[in-house]
Chains A and B, each alone.
Chain A
Amino acid sequence: MSASDDRPAVPAESPSVDPPGQGAATHTTKEPENRWSTAFREIVGGSWGVSVGAVLLAILAGSILIVATDENVRAAAAYFFARPGDMLSAIGSAAGDAYAALFRGSVWNYRADSFADGIRPLMVSLNYATPLIGSGLGLAVGFRAGLFNIGGQGQMILAAIGAGWIGFSLQLPWPLHMLLAIVVGMITGALWAAIAGVLKAVTGAHEVITTIMLNHIAFYLLFFLLATPGLLQAPGSANPKTPPMQSSAVMPKIFGSGYHLHLGFVLALLAVAATWWLMERSKLGFTFRAVGENPRAARVAGIDVGRTTVWVMVVSGALVALAGVTQVLGTSTTGFSTDVDAGMGFDAITVALLGRSNPVGVLGAAILFGAFRAGGATMQAAEGIPIEIVTVIQSLIVLFIAAPPLVRAIFRLPKPGSAPRRKAGDPAKEVAA
């Protein structure tokens, strides 16, 4: 077959005496280890039009769900043929009210009397975005290095344990105490992630399974620590909850006590910059990307793939841990319980995918999803729509983004490049057959 023979190179190349030889991207089909990067390249390669289309489609699907489950719409549907207008207006008000509440809760509260109150939802959104930025960055680093770290939950829990324990048990002056708690939390989270890295490097165990198992183990570990007097449980209480953080360990509010937004958001922004530098400008990041794109070539180039895998997990875990740290030291400082991760670990997957594993993209995606969360909470309170609608919309966005041809077909967007037919698509792929 044509695997080594007759493989045309990509035509974009300037005309040369070379007949087509060993061609492009053979590893995408020949080498399973590299399939991650293929997928991410597909995602990264999609146009922004697809992203916008995917978000619109997902919101549309969400509207259908809201409308279909709305009491008034169903009531009106019962006499649809008698008075169709009733149903249409019920549909309009169900979807309209829902998205109005979403907007009110996430961007600008148009019912507020003052600017200070009106802007508050935006601050709430950014507050929700803070942990998503950290965990999304952690996932993105893993993706770029070919690792699917689904262990966000466990890493956040371990970070909360580390930071929380320092935060409520020690007596230290303000910046020192807070910094120590942050560092310890990031270290415990990173070490927890490193377990999966070591297992992958030493035994080849797939990180998707090991990180998920570590999530459950972390959960029960935290449960045990919270349920056992003398460990994390607040003294004199039988509830599985920690004592509140010392004020010397708490992250200060950025815009004063009127707004929830705290120092964690600044830390998250710093993490965005640091991650960009790490991946694009540092030696370590170079090895991460090389291992992610082609572990075999990396190995031939003298990069220790196993050790790199462990480092990837450590960095990824530390970034995810930042999310856990900001939760317990910034967002809810009155002590935490087993739900400290608040599903952030899984949301981070969608954030990293929507952000195309690019630090700035992750920042944007995290703010968007933070807004969804903030608005979803308002929607739940005002319209009684379960907040899980946000999860549905988020996962639909990622699904649609992952399959650009689907979105293009629905919106009749042009294909990138001029090739009109599927068969004339990517020549590298074609010849791989």
Chain B
Amino acid sequence: MPDAILRVENIVKDFGSGPVLKDVNLEVRPGEILGIIGENGAGKSTLMKILAGIHQPTAGKVYVDGKAVRIADPIAARALKISLVPQEFNLIRDLPVYNNVFLGAELRKRSGVLDKESMKARTRELLAQLNVALDPEARIEGLSAAEKQMVEICKALAFDSRVLIMDEPTTMLTKFEIEILFRLTRKLRSEGMTILYISHKLKEVKHLCDRVVVLRDGELVHDGPTAEVSIVEMAQKMVGRELGSIFPVKGKPGDEVVFEARGVTVPGVLEDISFQLRKGEILGLAGLVGAGRTELAETVLGLRLRSAGTFLKDGRELDLREPADAVAAGISYLSEDRQGAGIITTFSVTRNVTLVSLGEYCRSFFRLIDKRTEKSKVQGYVDSFRIKTDSLDRRLENLSGGNQQKVSLAKAIDTSPSVLIVDEPTRGVDVSAKHEIYVFINELARKGISCLLISSELEEIIGMCDRVLVMRDGRIAGTLEGDRITEEQIMYHATGVQEEAAS
């Protein structure tokens, strides 16, 4: 067995509110793809940030090639040839690709002036090596999530990294893009690169990784070859208990149409969208990234201007010009972009949950906020959603992704909506929180709330939905029901081509 390229010994990390990592020992061997899995808050990202020089361990040591090192900052990590591709990309939108690749380590001519030509040429080389057709001079702004990720990987290659850490690399990618990423990852491994692959998606880890380690509550609870452990076992080790089926039993939606879109068109974005949403129904909205699903939700909220078409609620036409109109009509939206459009990270749990519904808590002639009622209502959500927080006044930036998402969901339903649009409700959320969120949504539907579920995870669509609309290029490409809700059917409509039987 080759010697460890990277080794951490007795790592402890404490941000001041109890240890996040407790005495973690881990060896990484050269040229392997090591899967690191664990629930949100298990400490995966913290461990990786220590390796990337973003955090310093409270105790313990890191060894590179057998030598103890201190990774004081990301520059030190770069010098040690360790690169991190973060979940939220670290790219500057206004700069072209090649500038981003060489950001902080620009190539210069002898005179000190930037050597743009060399940087472009080198970037072109690297992109070619990755088999990516991308212009080095394209601006980041116009790139898709997958392309941005390639730029991040390019960045790692530009510095001859030996260790590449990928944090949840597939959350923003479509199925095809994921395949490309996998092929690339294997190619890098064959060239001697060591890859740490952090993911919630156990199937991917099983599929891709040579070895898998499981973190639970800051401790390493499993370490072994991927071949020797099944997906179910992985999940159980992550959660520390037996798991039932992750999806609850589907309910029986009513016949009554609650919400309807008729011929909705937004120039260049949506084309003649019509559908009906019934009482208590979970209607899936599937499709590739960029097919117009989130844009449809934003149109319902009045954030995009329709050129044609109408929305109807209980048979009456709605005048939706701004989000407040949608809320008034009993429509609520859970954003896919949790930190960008869903929650305010510097606000407390309480203030987030009641942000939309605040009017309901305003009492008396002066319309003052009734803080006691507000608190007790939010406490109710914390209890029923099992939101892990030591206080209702805790700022959301201190909560894990899964708990943030639960707060976001509580916020969406605190307006007592009759139509709930949930956009990627389990993105970046661990298995047990995922299960809980599925149960909540299922319960809401059983109570008669109609849900529009937007998701890129086919399993989620198949496991949760009574009916599925598949979008492609801003149009509804197909509607699936009952037994026809299958992965093949969804992908067929989403892409317009029949997938090859065995790829």
Task: Say whether A associates with B.
Answer: no
Q: Which residues of A contact B (CB under 8 A)?
A: none
